[in-house]
Structure 1
Amino acid sequence: MKILRALSAMPVTALVVLALAGCADTQASLQEARTKVAATLPAPYFEDLVTESVAIEGDRLVLLIRSPKGSAARTREAPGFDTLKESEQIALRELCTQPAIMPLTDTDAVLVRRFVDRHDAVFFDVELPARACATPPTDAPAQP
């Protein structure tokens, strides 16, 4: 009976060890990516927007993009806000091509762009699991 209990506990133990190893790999990869991306910042993003910093929040690599002139509250109420957010969600895939980000595609990391105004009010976040970088978007044109 003791042998059966010991054998039945082994798969659970193995799963826990594998899960913890995956977390460690994700965190190590996130740290490496954060260091590499941070070395390139601040950097222009689009028009007056600036990618200001990068941080790790759990399993998320968060790039902070600041608008020095915009107002998050007014922008969220403006017509076309949803379209703007959708376009940024699509543009997030551009991160997948950055050499610092590529090692994250085999981890549980999530890529995030957080847009804030000059007072740190959040316009919105867009996010993409890094594993999704390995698959083309569903709306990608077919290759001939």
Structure 2
Amino acid sequence: MKILRTLSLTLAVAIALMMLGGCVDTQARLQHARTEIAATLPAPYFEDLVTEAVDVDGNRLVLSIRSPAGDAARTREATGFDALKQSEQRALYDLCALPEIAQLVDSDAILVRRFVDRNDVLFFEIELPARKCSTPPAEPPVQP
């Protein structure tokens, strides 16, 4: 009986260490990706948008994209805002092609793009679990 208890305790400790090791590994990978991407910033994103910063927030790799001339409140009220968000959600898969992101695909990391205006007011934020990089999104329906 004592042998079974010892084996059970040893097994429980081994499982806990493996789980903890996975968390540390994801964090190390996130920090490495952050460091590699940060070295390339600031970088143009699209038209007047600029990717300014990258941070790690828990298991999220957050890329901050600024619109130096935009106004978040007015943009959120504009016609087509939801379509813009959907378009950016699909475009988030483009991050999957980056070598810095490839190391995160088998982790619990979440890729995030945070869009802010010149006053740091949030337009919107989109996210994608890195594991989904292996399953690209379906093409959007064709508008008549």
TM-score, L = length of structure 1: 0.90
2-structure distance, mates of 1:71, 1:136: 31
Q: Quote how far apart the aligned CAs of 1:75 are.
A: 1.1
Matches within 5 A, 1:37-52: 37-52=37-52
Find the counterpart in structure 2 of residue 30 from structure 1.
Answer: 30
Instruction: Tell me how many residue pairs correspond in the alignment.
Output: 139
- Cα displacement string for residues 48-93 of structure 1 (whole angstroms, at most 9, x for unaligned residues): 0000010000011000000001111111111111111110000000
TM-score, L = length of structure 2: 0.90
SS of equivalent to 1:116: strand
Q: Quote how far apart the aligned CAs of 1:101 are.
A: 1.1
Give the letter aligned to residue 110 of structure 1. Answer: I
- How large is the Cα RMSD of the aligned pairs? 1.3
Find the counterpart in structure 1 of residue 142 from structure 2.
Answer: none
> Identity rate of aligned residues, in percent?
65
Q: Quote how far apart the aligned CAs of 1:9 are.
A: 3.4
Alignment CA distance shift 1:5-1:59 (3 Å): same
Find the counterpart in structure 2 of residue 64 from structure 1.
Answer: 64
SS of equivalent to 1:56: strand
Find the counterpart in structure 2 of residue 78 from structure 1.
Answer: 78
Q: Quote how far apart the aligned CAs of 1:116 are.
A: 0.3
- Cα displacement string for residues 20-43 of structure 1 (whole angstroms, at most 9, x for unaligned residues): 111111011011101110111100
